[in-house]
């Protein structure tokens, strides 16, 4: 599958998921200042401990994280959850749904897989 198309799908799904999250705020995120925020569970961000968290939230565009909701928020936001699951299924089809990973890391992993396939295909020529 074309690497450029897959990365286009990554960006497209991320933008759709981000718009959906911002519109409905299913997590109930409340930001109190740099590095200080809570969600509907009155906990720190569900992604606490992730190496990509900065003082104002996530520092990378991670599709796998963007398209997931925790179990607490799902029942109250069923329509949003279903839309996110549909987008997540598309991302999984294109192997783009890794959680806690940057877009660049996924791009390089896909590029490496493509070059390996190319090397295997041309080995016998």
The closest of 16, 31, 68, 33 to 47, measured between CA atoms, is 68
What pLDDT is recorded for position 44? 54
pLDDT for 124 equals: 47
By C-alpha distance, which of 21, 96, 107, 24 is closest to 58?
A: 21
Paired tokens of 65: 């994280």
Q: What's the pLDDT at 15? A: 93
Per-residue pLDDT of the chain (125 residues; tens, 9 = 90+): 687 888 899 999 999 998 998 898 887 776 666 656 667 665 555 666 677 766 666 777 888 888 888 777 788 889 999 999 999 999 999 888 887 777 888 888 888 876 655 455 445 44
3-state helix, strand, coil in the chain (%, to 5): 50, 10, 40
Per-residue pLDDT at 87: 94
From CA 51, how far away is CA 86, in angstroms rounded? Answer: 27
What H or E segment, with its residue span, contains residue 38? Answer: strand 36-38
Of the candidates 11, 95, 99, the one whose C-alpha atom is nearest the C-alpha of residue 50 is 99
Cα–Cα dist 111/125, whole Å? 22
| pLDDT score at 6 | 86
């Amino acid at each position: 599958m074309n690497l450029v198309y897959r990365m286009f799908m990554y960006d497209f799904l991320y933008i759709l998921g981000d718009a959906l999250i911002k519109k409905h705020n299913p997590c109930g995120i409340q930001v109190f200042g740099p590095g200080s925020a809570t969600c509907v569970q009155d906990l720190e961000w569900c992604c606490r401990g992730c190496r990509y968290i900065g003082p104002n939230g996530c520092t990378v565009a991670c599709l796998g994280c963007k398209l997931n909701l925790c179990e607490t928020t799902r029942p109250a936001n069923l329509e949003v959850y279903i839309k996110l699951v549909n987008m997540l299924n598309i991302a999984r089809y294109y192997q783009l749904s890794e959680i806690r990973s940057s877009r660049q890391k996924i791009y390089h992993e896909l590029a490496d897989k493509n070059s390996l396939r190319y090397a295997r295909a041309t080995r016998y020529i």
